[in-house]
Amino acid sequence: MGILLSVFLPLSLAFIMFSLGLGLTIADFARVVAKPKAFVAGAVSQIIILPVVAFLLLQIFALSPELAVGVMILAFCPGGVTSNIMTRLAGGSVALSVTLTGVVSLISVITVPFLVAFAADTLMGRAAPDVDVTSLAIAMFAITAVPVAIGVAVRHFSPSLADRIEPSIIRAAMVLFVIIVIGALAANWTVFVENIALLGPLLVVLNVALLLIGFGFGRLLGLDRADRIAVAIETGIQNSTLGITVGSLIVEAASGLPPFSLPSGIYGITMYFVSLPFVFWMRQSERH
């Protein structure tokens, strides 16, 4: 399990982020300026509304301080490749989804370390681990921002190569994601079973609430249907692989997954039980 956390997990996350960057172009980042309202709606939903909703739910669901911090770590994470795929399936704006994922992922390199340190101090008090914000930021930069930048560079300088390898890269990234979640939970099965009854309902409620809030926020701002779907899914589906990684970077567990990573690990499974029905609902409502 030590090798999984220290080597395989960061490398897998880097590969997943590379697959995300491979789908981005310079024009996608320019879309932030060209279509600011939709981007701002998605960014505000992810960076501000999502953590606030998660914190409010923690006042209702009684979790241990460590698991509560783990939930907040998940809430601080941006969307991932999964959110882009779900947006495509639901008939949303894939361009907006990919842009939000890419830009917010880069912003998270700065925001997440500080927010995690703040959440740990707030929820755990003196028992909080000593979060090295600088080291966490450097680690996140190395395994998220750099791979995304490499992917964007490949797309920019060799679009034909990017088009040729992107489908295989995305499939491999999804396989790695599944391996990470299954491996993490298998190595911590007892802890998983002990906490699923408590964490499962909270994570499902969080997921449902955020999908609906994101969609409603987009409607309130007058976004078209495709953009509303993208904002909803980017708000409701987080990069659980990043959450697992950040949780493991905070504290080195003697064996198995630290409690800070457990909510993200469980969320990696529960999100499909919520997001797939949402995708089906969007597709069905479009036909009527």
Write out pLDDT tens, residues 30-49.
777 777 899 999 999 999 99
Computed over every residue of the chain, the mean pLDDT equals 85
Q: Look at 284 and 208; give whichever has higher pLDDT.
A: 208
Q: Kindly give, in sequence order, each residue whose CB lies less than 8 Å from that of residue 180, ignoring residues fewer than 6 positions away.
A: 8, 9, 12, 241, 244, 268
Query: What pLDDT sits at residue 2?
Result: 52
In this predicted structure, the answer to whether residue 205 has a pLDDT above a threshold of 50 is yes
Alpha-carbon span 136 to 232, nearest angstrom? 29
Per-residue pLDDT tens for 133-190? Answer: 888 888 888 888 888 889 989 998 998 999 999 889 888 888 887 777 777 667 667 7
Note the pLDDT of residue 256.
56
pLDDT at 227: 92
- What pLDDT was estimated at residue 287? 65
Report all structural domains of the chain as residue ranges with CATH numbers, in order of start: 2-281 (1.20.1530.20)
pLDDT of the residue at 252: 60
What is the reported pLDDT for 253?
46
Q: Cα–Cα distance between 253 and 117 in angstroms, integer?
A: 18
pLDDT at 190: 74
94, pLDDT greater than 70 = yes
Q: Give one word for 91, left, alpha or beta, with left for phi > 0 and alpha for psi -120 to 50.
A: left
